[in-house]
Amino acid sequence: MIRPLSQRGFTLLELLVALAIFALLAVMAYGGLSKVLRTEDILDEQLDRLGEVQRTFTFMERDLLQIIPRDIRDEYGDTQRFLVGRDPLQSNGEPLLVLTRSGYANPLGVARSELQRIDWRLEDDVLYRETWPVLDRAQDTRPRSLPLCTAVKGFRLRFLDDKKKWHRQWPPEGQQAKGLQAPLAVEVTLELADWGELRRLVPLGAVRL
């Protein structure tokens, strides 16, 4: 006896075909979702990297624009100029940029100077910004080190003097440091492992000392 259509079920073949179609759609949907999630992860990584690089250049620019002509005495009692820029090939492990700057925030009104000594150092492909608690330091004075940018393969500076000549170090080689003012501009170059070379020109003409 033939059953009415309303009482018929699925045959085994029909179930297998339906399951195969469902599995194919699930695989396609998962592949698309996985690609979207991976793209989102890559975008987040690039945004984090962009923020890291922008923060580094922002700190660097602020430090340079707030240079103050205040020399300091190091832990050995020797005088260090208010601005020192070193050629990476001749730095011998010393900070590549050292300066005295104003704008040291003091919200609690602590009895201290509003000037601050800053070092920029490249070590193990990481660019560090070091801040000293005092200007004229003792032998046990230690800086606070803040890692700002990773995967840095190179960090170079160029300084423009009042004769419009560029120098790879400051004070320029062969010139007397005494009485020398700040350069007209500083060119900062970061060589990143992932993004290549990035340059920022910081004009200092507005803050001539």
Whether pLDDT at 11 is above 60: yes
Q: Domain residues for 187?
A: 61-207
Asked if the structure places residue 31 within a domain, the reply is no
In-domain check, residue 21: no
| Position 74 in a domain | yes
Higher pLDDT, 12 or 103: 103
Radius of gyration of the chain (CA): 30
What average pLDDT does this structure show over 12-24? 78
Q: Which among 92, 94, 76 has a CA at the least distance from the CA of 84? A: 94
Overall domain count for the chain: 1
* Domain assignment present for 81: yes
Q: pLDDT tens across 100-112, in order? A: 999 887 777 777 7
CATH code, domain with 126: 3.10.610.10
Residue 19 within any structural domain of the chain = no
Residue 53 lies in a domain: no
Q: Average pLDDT, stretch 38-48?
A: 83
Dist. CA 100–CA 64, nearest whole Å: 9
Residue length of the chain: 209
Give the range among 38-47, 159-168, 194-203 with minimum mean pLDDT. Answer: 38-47
DSSP 67: B
